Every structure is written in C-alpha cells, then in structure tokens.
Structure 1
Amino acid sequence: MLIASAALTLGGTTFGSGIVTPNTGILLNSAQLLFSSSPTSSSANIAAPGRRPLLPTSPIFFETAQQKCGHRFLAASSGGIRGMMDISQAS
C-alpha cells in the first residue's frame, strides 16, 4: 500500500511570489523568503547554491499497533508556530 502526504506552503506571504503561470494558473511560491537574511544568524539557514531553506513542515502518519491491515491516517501541515496544534485538532 502506498500512502503519500504533501505539506505545501506559499513561503510565508499571502499570495506567494505573486506570479501565476500563464497556462496552468498555478501560483508560484516565495520560498526564497524563508532563508535567513541576517549574516549573524545560524549558518543552517543561510542562502547558498544548492541549499534549501529550513521549513517546519509536519507530516504525520498514524496506524494501529495491533494489525498491519488496521486503520491508517495521514495528515500534513505547512508548519509554523501552530502546525502541530492544527494537526492534533484535525485528527
């Protein structure tokens, strides 16, 4: 059995980058804003070639411990301060 989850974000702004692809209508994200712009901050989130910004997403997978064929539940949150709380209230 394959189960997939996606935690999507628009990068911390209301409408992402504000750019919509002409043929699909997909709104592009602004994930570059998630990099730290402070040179004195931790180097873990500094923009550099080939790096991805740290993003607090919260994928969650639940299954019953007794049976392999038992109930399964999958959820995801785009994270942030309330990400885990959002997941716990939804489940």
Structure 2
Amino acid sequence: VVLFEMEYSTWVEDQKRGTDALRTALNARATDLELRILVEGGLKLYDDLFDMKATAAKSDVFHLMSGMWRTTAERFFLWIGGFRPSELLK
C-alpha cells in the first residue's frame, strides 16, 4: 500500500510534466511526429497507472477503493460528488 502511494505520487508528477510538455509543444506548433510521441508517452503513463492499481488491488482492494491514496482535494471532490460506479473502471 505504501509502495503504491509512493508510485502514485511519482506518477502524478510524471503526468504533470507530460501534460506541460504537450501543452508547450502545441503552443510551439510542433510536428505531428513530435506530438504523437508525447501523446503515446501520456497513454503509456495511464497504462502504467492501471498496472499499479491492479497490483495494489491484489494486496488491499479496500485501500484502493476508499481513495485514501488520493490528494486531499481529490477526496474532497469525491465526498461532495459521492460514489460513482464509473470509479470502479478507472
């Protein structure tokens, strides 16, 4: 569980860097190839996230479903919005 939380915080940082790089490339009018590489990198990040969640679910599915690994702001918005069954698919 602790390992997942550490991996998730690293994933969030990587995702932010990837989003920033993509935004910069779009503003700089990058080529289609450059954009494709950035988008594929972003897709791989999400694939990695799903793998991390699957591994974490094997050890403690309740921790993963409770969302305690999320940031305080994310937990607040989940509390405001309530449980969504679509969260099970993420």
Return the structure number with greater helix share.
Answer: 2
Which has more radius of gyration?
1
Q: Which has the higher contact order (CA 8 A, sep 6+)?
A: 2
TM-score (norm 1): 0.21
Return the structure number with greater strand share.
Answer: 1
TM-score (norm 2): 0.21
